[in-house]
Amino acid sequence: SDDYKLVSGKWKVKPTTLDLGDGVHIGQDDFSIMLGPCSIEGEEQISRTIRHLKDNGIRIMRGGVFKPRSSPYSFRGMGISGLQLWHQLAQEAGIKIITEVMQVSQIEEMYPYVDVFQVGARNTQNFNLLDELGKVDKPVMIKRGISGTIDELLYSAEYVFSAGNEKLILCERGIRTYEPSSRNTLDLNAVPILKEKTHLPVVVDPSHGIGIRHLVEPMALAAVMAGADGVIVEVHERPELASSDGQQTLDHQQSSQMIDRLRQTYQLR
Ligand code: PEP
Ligand code: MN
């Protein structure tokens, strides 16, 4: 059969949990909040973000150093030197790093500095990249394709799993629909459906999902009640100055409020 199997909840009934070390887990009985800028921009921005995470008890920082931009003239990220700088500062603070890998050749150079490899929505069906990430012994978070179905996301996870890497996280980040009022249509249906179909942890990205700053928090809270294992949210001290995705990025005050409400909401689940 060409159906997915290894990622199926029938194949493994017990939910998968991931151990990132130093007491940081993703999965069952843990709601993971991952925060950070869309793009890593420099030492000061990294330090201020880490301070914000520490102040709020958050252990996982997101950020891109290789950015998939619609226009080739947009900021495309600091590259590997930005990742090295970030890793040095994050490690000192006990913060874990999740960041996007765009191509096979980057895996090896990024490996020492990454805690979770992110596969972006434009690469969900880059099967060569998925095969190679299957040979890595670090967790991989796969985002749903821009026009991808839930089953296509599961097949992408099956690629990585069947190539040898079982440390997987799935991410709903909105899909492209006919609705122009929001950047994407955040498909929260995917959360309970995925939780039923697979044993893998499911994370929601409300930032790219709705794309409108003041509407990110309600969708993050909705993700909790939909059954998500975590959220990944774009945060910047000065969103209006961010190199990318400022329009959907929370400032630190908005972020702290969201974190408090996420924790309160999780208690209700
Ligand atoms: C991002 O996380 O900044 C990003 C580019 O996300 P996506 O791949 O979901 O568009
Ligand atoms: Mn972004």
Model confidence at 52: pLDDT above 70? yes
Which residues is 119 bridged to in the sheet?
A: 142
Exposure on the CB side of residue 248, measured as CA atoms within 13 A? 24
How far, in Å, CA of 237 to CA of 35, rounded? 12
Arithmetic mean of pLDDT, 146-152: 98
Distance between Cα 100 and ligand 2 center (Å): 10
Under 8 Å CB-to-CB from 123, ≥6 apart: which residues?
68, 102, 129
pLDDT in tens, 168-194: 999 999 999 999 999 999 999 999 999
pLDDT band at 29 (very low <50, low <70, confident <90, very high): confident
Asked if residue 121 has its Cβ within 6 Å of ligand 1, the reply is: yes
**Nearest atom within ligand 1 for CA of residue 62:** 2
**Nearest atom within ligand 1 for CA of residue 173:** 9
Asked if residue 208 has its Cβ within 6 Å of ligand 1, the reply is: yes
**Nearest atom within ligand 1 for CA of residue 120:** 8
pLDDT in tens, 190-210: 999 999 999 999 999 999 999
Q: Kindly provide the ipTM of the predicted complex, given to two decimals.
A: 0.99
Under 8 Å CB-to-CB from 44, ≥6 apart: which residues?
none
Identify the pLDDT of residue 131: 98
Residue spans of the domains in the chain: they are 36-67+74-267
Distance between Cα 65 and ligand 1 center (Å): 12
Backbone CA torsion sign across 109, 113, 115, 121: negative
- The residue assigned the tokens 């990024």 is 110
Q: What is the mean pLDDT of the chain?
A: 97
Distance between Cα 121 and ligand 1 center (Å): 6
Return the CATH architecture of domain 36-67+74-267.
Alpha-Beta Barrel (3.20)
Asked if residue 143 has its Cβ within 6 Å of ligand 1, the reply is: yes
- The residue assigned the tokens 């619609």 is 70
Neighbours of 138 (CB within 10 A): 16
Quick one: DSSP state of residue 65?
S
Model confidence at 2: pLDDT above 80? no
Distance between Cα 71 and ligand 2 center (Å): 14
Nearest to 190 by CA among 175, 168, 180: 175
